[in-house]
């Protein structure tokens, strides 16, 4: 009996085991992913700035021994110029002195004009080539012949026909931006499974119903990919075309800044072009994801 009492008192005197320390609260998975993406983006841009600064330091003209000159402006010289350009981007002091914002708007208007016209040509033609083997055999060699032609090779032709630099620029964008959409649409339709065609026959779809309810929905992801690539090409071509056309636009702005000897303004405009291109690409990526989820 005493042994039992002793055991009970010992058990009562034994302290309870320590509780495990509470783990720190964890961020939601989506927020962690967003923070990681921002950190990766900042790291990429930081590396780009470092390489740019190194390239600037290495581009030194020592032809005059006592007066070395840095040929390529670095970030320290360019970013303040970019800041001053963005501080008042929409000023207009005449034909040859417009803000970077006005120039960007002019370029975007031409890009969307040419890209939209190319879309209206490329999607129906791509559907036709993908759905009809006979039409594809006739026209695919023509498409593959015209597709690799340099964008600037079309500019003199557009200028001769339209007698206008801005209209020739839109023409160049139409001709060079439609091919990715056309080809992606064609291959999207060609990859349509036979089961889809058989179901359309069972339900006796008309040609319009077949296109609207079978071909277009199935080929839509391919079409969006083509449109995204086409926009990238259009934004790539616009600068070179505007350098030839003159007048307004980011291409003209860069050429005018180069002729004025201001490489800092040239580099600042290149940054603006790159950021706008990034925004356009991310917009198409967002649309593609929304369509994929629907």
- pLDDT for 185 equals 94
- Tell me whether residue 130 is in a domain: yes
Residue 146's domain is classified under what CATH number? 1.10.3720.10
Q: Which of 22-31, 39-48, 215-224 has the lowest mean pLDDT?
A: 22-31
Residue 252 has pLDDT above 90, yes or no: yes
Percent of the chain with pLDDT over 70: 89
- pLDDT for 93 equals 87
Q: Per the structure, how many domains does the chain have?
A: 1
In this predicted model, what pLDDT tens digit does every residue of 236-248 receive, in sequence order? 999 999 998 888 8
pLDDT confidence tier of residue 195, bands split at 50, 70 and 90: confident
Residue 6 has pLDDT above 50, yes or no: no
- Tell me whether residue 192 is in a domain: yes
d(CA 135, CA 274): 39
- Looking at every residue in the chain, the average pLDDT score rounds to 86
Percent of the chain with pLDDT over 90: 53
Q: Which of 4-8, 39-43, 165-169, 270-274 has the lowest mean pLDDT?
A: 4-8
Could you tell me which residues come within 8 angstroms of residue 190 by beta carbon, excluding any fewer than 6 positions away?
130
- pLDDT for 62 equals 74
Residue-number span of the structural domain to which 143 is assigned: 108-247
- Tell me whether residue 254 is in a domain: no
- Tell me whether residue 267 is in a domain: no
Tokens at 268, concatenated = 């600042």
- pLDDT for 293 equals 67
* The model's pTM: 0.82
What mean pLDDT is predicted for residues 175-195? 92
What mean pLDDT is predicted for residues 30-34? 77
- Tell me whether residue 26 is in a domain: no
pLDDT confidence tier of residue 184, bands split at 50, 70 and 90: very high
By the 10 Å C-beta count (0-12 exposed, 13-18 middle, 19+ buried), 180 is classed as: buried
Alpha helices in the chain (DSSP H): 2-13, 29-58, 75-87, 100-131, 133-146, 155-162, 165-190, 194-202, 207-210, 216-245, 250-259, 263-293
- Tell me whether residue 241 is in a domain: yes
Residue 112 has pLDDT above 90, yes or no: yes
- pLDDT for 81 equals 94
- Tell me whether residue 164 is in a domain: yes
- Tell me whether residue 157 is in a domain: yes
Task: Please state whether 59 falls in left (phi above 0), alpha (psi between -120 and 50) or beta.
Answer: beta
């Amino acid at each position: 009996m005493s042994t039992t009492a002793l055991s009970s008192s010992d058990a009562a005197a034994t302290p309870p085991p320590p509780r495990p320390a509470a783990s720190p609260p964890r961020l939601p998975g989506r927020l962690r992913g967003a923070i990681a993406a921002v950190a990766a983006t900042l790291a990429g841009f930081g590396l780009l700035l470092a390489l740019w600064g190194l390239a600037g330091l290495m581009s030194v003209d020592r032809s005059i021994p006592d007066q070395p000159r840095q040929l390529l402006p670095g970030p320290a010289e360019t970013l303040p110029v970019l800041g001053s350009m963005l501080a008042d981007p929409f000023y207009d002091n005449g034909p040859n002195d417009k803000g970077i914002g006005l120039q960007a708007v002019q370029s975007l208007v031409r890009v969307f004009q040419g890209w939209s016209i190319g879309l209206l040509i490329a999607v129906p033609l791509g559907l036709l080539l993908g759905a009809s083997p006979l039409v594809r055999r006739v026209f695919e060699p023509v498409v593959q012949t015209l597709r690799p032609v340099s964008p600037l090779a079309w500019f003199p032709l557009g200028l001769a026909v339209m007698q206008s630099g801005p209209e020739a620029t839109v023409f160049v964008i139409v001709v060079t931006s439609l091919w990715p959409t056309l080809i992606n649409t064609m291959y999207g339709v060609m990859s349509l499974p036979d089961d889809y065609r058989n179901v359309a026959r069972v339900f006796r779809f008309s040609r319009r119903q077949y296109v609207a309810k079978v071909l277009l929905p199935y080929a839509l992801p391919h079409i969006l990919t083509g449109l995204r690539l086409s926009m990238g090409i259009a934004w790539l071509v616009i600068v070179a075309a505007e350098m030839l056309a003159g007048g307004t636009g980011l291409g003209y702005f860069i050429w005018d800044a180069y002729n004025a000897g201001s490489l800092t303004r040239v580099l600042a405009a290149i940054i603006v072009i790159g950021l706008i291109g990034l925004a356009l690409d991310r917009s198409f990526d967002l649309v593609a994801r929304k369509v994929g989820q629907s």
